[in-house]
Amino acid sequence: MGKAYIVGIGATKIDEHWEKGIRDLMTEASLRAIQDAGISKKEIQGIFVGNMSSGYLQGQEHLGSLLATWLGLPGVAANKVEAACASGGAAVHAAYLAVKSGLYDCVLAVGVEKLTDAPTSDATSALIMAEDQEYVAFAGFSFVALNALVYREYMRRFGVRQEDIALFAVHDHKYAANNPLAQYNKPLSLEDVLKSPLVADPIRLLESAPLGDGSAALVICSEEKARRLNKDVFVELAGSALATDILSLHDRPDLTTLSATVKARSMAFKQAGIDVNDIDILEVHDAFTVLGVIHLEDLGFAKKGEGWKLLKEGQLEKDGKIPTNTMGGLKARGHPVGATGVYQIYDLVTQLRGDAGANQVPDPEIGLAQNVGGVGGTVAINVVRRVR
């Protein structure tokens, strides 16, 4: 099999884009990625659009053909990829397979979501569709409530204080302050977080990723095509894996482990020929602070019940042991659900190129992005490597 290279990246700011529709956002991000790649849009052979809720919230499906039309590329192969909150990472995975197989030479992986036009109640209804409607949503659980169960069990089982977990929000906001694409650029204190209103006990408002609109895109090409481009730094998509877990929490043996993360991590590491010690920079799916901590453990960076120690000891800082969410993560950069997995890779490529400004990690070579659907029902792991 061949290799896959990310040769172009593009994204919109995550915000409340009242003046832009879903087609505007994904077209803008795609054109930016194509321009960044230095190619003609006519060279795109396939389009994979990650999105969760356009049918429910915008009454618009068929996003692949819609984007192809607005890009002026009728006839190109295009489709929507849906895996709840992991839709973006799943779209990148599909693009990776398309290029690695040799079927396509150059494709677009795009993530897009528009949440703020809808009433909060509708957005909440859309998000719980990541769970089993008949057995969970029907019983009155919200997506936040499910994560609250995980949070409470983690604290009970490992004897961890909430203030040590809530630090994840403080960490993210510190780095989002220097990210022009971030939804929230204001730093937070731990006191701010712990004094914010409860959403679902024990989760507080400022421990939760916000609703937002946005789109991010990647141009992914074969090695032969990538090498023909005039680039100072090449970024290989060195590994990409997708795994699932039992969908509903009530059927899982352990609420504090996302087995899909463990499975996808193992597959992606094997594809890339690396292990956990080779990762220089990390993006985790911290839709809620407790998930950020758990992901550090499931990815192999900390023992079970000790992920919070890396956070508290400063090991997630840009000059720490494993720099994590260095552009703000889901909590502060924002979480436009189906686009998040692509934004994560956008941020990693920015770092590998040395373009992260005040947030730049010293000389990173290998990065990992973990994108989670539901409460771990699906996990996408994508590994990127700098190649000169």
Q: Are strands 234-244 and 4-11 parallel, antiparallel or unpaired?
A: antiparallel
Three-state SS annotation for 254-278: CCCCCHHHHHHHHHHHHHHCCCHHH
For residue 202, cis peptide bond before it (omega within 30 degrees of 0): yes
C-alpha–C-alpha distance, residues 22 and 9, integer Å? 18
Number of Cβ within 10 Å of residue 147's Cβ equals 22
Residues in the chain, total: 388
Active site residues: 85, 335
- In sequence order, which residues have a C-beta less than 8 Å from that of residue 51 and are 6 or more positions away? 22, 63, 80, 81, 82, 87, 111, 112, 113, 338, 339
In three-state secondary structure terms, 7 is: strand
Write down the residue that tokens 């970024």 correspond to. 235
Look at residue 237 and give its three-state secondary structure: strand
Question: Residue 171: in which H helix or E strand, if any?
Answer: helix 162-176
Token duo for residue 356: 């992260």
User: Do 194 and 7 form a contact (C-beta atoms < 8 A)?
Assistant: no
- The identity of residue 29, as a single letter, is A
Amino acid at site 54: S
CA distance 316 to 170: 12
Q: How far apart are CA 340 and CA 228, in angstroms?
A: 30
